[in-house]
Amino acid sequence: MKEEVKGIPVRVALRCRPLVPKEISEGCQMCLSFVPGEPQVVVGYNATVLAYGQTGSGKTYSMGGAYTAEQENEPTVGVIPRVIQLLFKEIDKKSDFEFTLKVSYLEIYNEEILDLLCPSREKAPQISIREDPKEGIKIVGLTEKTVLVALDTVSCLEQGNNCRTVASTAMNSQSSRSHAIFTISIEQRKKSDKNSSFRSKLHLVDLAGSERQKKTKAEGDRLKEGESN
């Protein structure tokens, strides 16, 4: 289903799990389907996609925050890998433009910004937030990698996922204890006019789960992490 609502830039989507074998054998049918549209970042708009909900509800899974290369062709692959594939398909169609894409991946853990694409956190430069007159809010010191194809991009996603902070609680054995933001920065210019260019950014966000200490039974560091969320 695709419904355009003029003047409202916010969309809310529901992701349903696939049918289980028992449901298929009983003749159950899918109740929802979505037709992907053109990513608006390709035409110059900034965009953000985020998952929010209770801990253990499947946010990281749905966003693709646990993505590995082996999952590439699985029907349950998450939002971020799907968006990456769609984005590069749309870019390939715009042969009259030149594109430069860069990605960054950060984690906000206990109110501290961590660089998920830095090989060694011990050697990571100090990260700070600044306001740039041209680029707006900017994270200074954050690693940005230039990507040429979808495979480069998902490799960065997988690298960052392996560095995320996870821990066990009573509600989730692999609970993401941080907010994570995977950002794709796009600069494009017309081949016929090298002086004309514009930039856009796509932020793909996996928020740490909202939780109650009574249910998670969190103590010590786990409790502090939950309070930060």
Number of helices and strands in the chain (H, E): 6, 10
Q: Is 60 a known ligand-binding residue? A: yes
Q: For the packed helices 79-93 and 150-161, what is the interaxial angle rounded to 10 degrees?
A: 160
Is the CB of residue 144 less than 8 Å from the CB of residue 102? yes
Would you place residue 82 in the very low, low, confident or very high pLDDT band (cuts 50, 70, 90)? confident
How is domain 41-228 classified at the architecture level of CATH? 3-Layer(aba) Sandwich (3.40)
Please report where in the chains the tokens 């916010």 appear, as a residue.
10
- 56 labelled ligand-binding: yes
58 labeled binding residue: yes
The 10s digit of each residue's pLDDT in 41-68 is 888 889 888 888 887 777 887 888 666 6
Q: Where are the domains of the chain?
A: 41-228
pTM for the full model?
Answer: 0.73
pLDDT digits (tens, 9 = 90+) for 121-137: 666 677 888 888 877 78
Cβ distance 73 to 79 under 8 Å?
no
Span 19-30, average pLDDT: 80
pLDDT of 74 over the 60 cut: yes
pLDDT of residue 173: 43
CA distance 211 to 229: 8
Lowest-pLDDT range, 26-40, 96-110, 187-201, 212-226?
212-226
> Would you say 59 is a known binding-site residue?
yes
Check the annotation: does 64 bind a ligand: no
Confidence of residue 143 (pLDDT cuts 50, 70, 90): very high
**Alpha-carbon distances of 228 from 59, 110, 176, 182, rounded to whole Å:** 18, 6, 12, 20
Asked if residue 228 belongs to a known ligand binding site, the reply is no
Q: What is the pLDDT of the chain when averaged over all its residues?
A: 77
Which pairing describes strands 197-206 and 128-132: parallel, antiparallel, or unpaired? unpaired
